[in-house]
A and B are shown apart, each in its own frame.
Chain A
Amino acid sequence: MAMTGVLRPGFIQLRVLDMATSIEYYQNRLGLNMVSTETDGRVYLKAYDEFDRHSVILRQAPEAGIDLMAFKVATDADLDHFRKRIEDWGLTVEEVAAGEQPGVGRRISFVLPSGHRIELYADIAMSENHPETHNPHMWRDEPRGMGVIRFDHALLYGPDIDKVCDFFVKALDFKLAEHVTLPDGLLAIWLTCSNKAHDIAFVKHENPGKLHHAAFLLEDWNQVGHAADIMVRHDISIDIGPTRHGITRGQTIYFFDPSGNRNEVFAGGYTYYPDNPTRSWDETQLGKGIFYYERALNERFLTVVT
């Protein structure tokens, strides 16, 4: 498979209520590395195994939630190519100047029918602390805390996800890996631009622009258990898990950052190829689809968002 066009999730900008406690959490508990604090107050971080300058941006604000999620595309020409296709689909596209985030080139920015701001960019500086590339060790420095490998995907909640699905498939060449359809229509979609089971997902929700979770990759099931031990030791609020998803097959635990933004750390999940058929779930097996071992949703999954 040749990956072209939209390559992968690049970064996510989250709103936090208190920066000091958030840095302590994202740096020492999740295990991200600090990159920089800029004059506008935004804090930039990255996971140890990511090459690019940053993947998580924290912005202190009076309200928790997500500002935006950005995908990296292969070439600068892709930005012009996708701009036309996005506008042809019917969304308004804004240009974000190079340097709005340190080390990041020009971005194109648009708001989905679900109320979420999504951006594309082609250029970002390589991290000064990137993984070794010649006779590389596992890591330069021992991972801290949960030791997350990378920012992996997000699940977003909002209205009109049927339109969102159409947009990602038709304008950005994503594939629909899985969906949940209830008698009254589409409930949830898992979209991929890569070999992963999902790069972004959406669940139908009446309020636009909501964050369900930002997810980070771990190496294996043992690391999910180790992450759970850290959560209890440091009084991190756990939502559910460790458990497994029927959908995507990821081994997972959900928990909340100090501002109530849900995070996930997970391992596994199947390999997706673009010729694979879409997997589907209905209301009779939805519990198993979301939480495979419990075979039932918890109250919070469909309702607690920031």
Chain B
Amino acid sequence: MTTAPTRYQIQVEGYQPFSCAPDQRVLVAMEQAFPIPLPGKARPLLVGCRRGGCGFCRVQVTSGQYRTDKMSVAHVTEEALAQGYALACCLYPDSDLTLRSAVEVKTRSGPKPAQTVET
């Protein structure tokens, strides 16, 4: 008999992986894993409102099982939801996840979250 892992691995394509508990939101786990921006340890995701409204942490889940909270349809339509898009601040893992950043809103620092050091 195997015991389910208490934390899953979250891999954002192009970045160092981090771990997330099943009852933890992926964006919050990311903030805890990358508490300060360090050279060579860029934050994989942008942090906006953390509550499903602004679209800053939009991702596409490319593999794995997950649950989501309610998210603003301005950023994740029903169709997009069916295609694996989600906001990382409303995303809970039920397995290891592979994500790809899919930010659509215009951010001051440009489309590459790796370049953002602001918390």
Which of A104-112, A189-197, A295-303 touches B? A295-303
List chain A positions with a Cβ less than 8 A from chain B.
17-18, 62-65, 206, 237, 239, 256-262, 298-300, 302-306
Are A260's CB and B70's CB within 8 A?
no
Main secondary structure of the interface of B (DSSP, over half): loop
From B70, B118, B119, A17 is in contact (CB under 8 Å) with B70
Nearest chain A residue, comparing its CB with the CB of B49: A260
Nearest chain A residue, comparing its CB with the CB of B48: A304
Are A256's CB and B72's CB within 8 A?
no
Give residues of chain B (42-98) contacting chain A, Cβ–Cβ below 8 Å: 46-54, 56, 70-74
Contacts A64-B53, A256-B53 given; 6 further ones with Cβ under 8 A? A65-B53, A256-B51, A258-B51, A299-B46, A300-B118, A303-B48
A-B pairs with beta carbons under 8 A, tally: 73
Judged by a CB distance under 8 angstroms, whether B105 is at the interface is yes
Question: Contacts A299-B107, A303-B105, A304-B56 given: A260-B74 contact, CB under 8 Å?
Answer: no
Docked CA distance A62–B71 (Å): 8
Are B71's CB and A17's CB within 8 A?
yes
Nearest chain B residue, comparing its CB with the CB of A299: B118
Give the residues in chain B near A256, CB-CB below 8 Å: 49-51, 53
B69 nearest CB across to chain A (Å):
8
A55 nearest CB across to chain B (Å):
21
29 A-B contacts, Cβ less than 8 Å apart?
Answer: A17-B52, A17-B53, A18-B70, A62-B72, A63-B73, A64-B52, A64-B53, A64-B72, A65-B72, A237-B49, A259-B52, A260-B50, A260-B51, A260-B52, A260-B53, A260-B54, A261-B53, A299-B107, A299-B108, A299-B118, A300-B118, A303-B48, A303-B106, A303-B107, A304-B49, A304-B54, A304-B56, A306-B49, A306-B74
Judged by a CB distance under 8 angstroms, whether B109 is at the interface is yes
Give the residues in chain A near B70, CB-CB below 8 Å: 17-18
The 6 A-B residue pairs whose C-beta atoms are closest, nearest first, are A260-B53, A260-B49, A64-B53, A237-B50, A299-B118, A260-B51
Give how many B residues have a beta carbon under 8 Å from the other chain's beta carbons: 23
B89 nearest CB across to chain A (Å):
8
Nearest chain B residue, comparing its CB with the CB of A240: B119
From B46, B47, B106, B118, A206 is in contact (CB under 8 Å) with B106
Give the residues in chain A near B51, CB-CB below 8 Å: 237, 256-260
Docked CA distance A304–B118 (Å): 13
Judged by a CB distance under 8 angstroms, whether B9 is at the interface is no
B109 nearest CB across to chain A (Å):
6
A259 nearest CB across to chain B (Å):
5
A231 nearest CB across to chain B (Å):
12
Give the residues in chain B near A304, CB-CB below 8 Å: 48-49, 54, 56
Docked CA distance A256–B90 (Å): 14
Give the residues in chain B near A305, CB-CB below 8 Å: 54
Give the residues in chain B near A298, CB-CB below 8 Å: 118-119
Docked CA distance A298–B119 (Å): 8
Give the residues in chain B near A62, CB-CB below 8 Å: 72-73
Are B53's CB and A303's CB within 8 A?
no
Judged by a CB distance under 8 angstroms, whether B116 is at the interface is yes
Nearest chain A residue, comparing its CB with the CB of B118: A299
B105 nearest CB across to chain A (Å):
7
Give the residues in chain A near B49, CB-CB below 8 Å: 237, 239, 256, 260-262, 304, 306
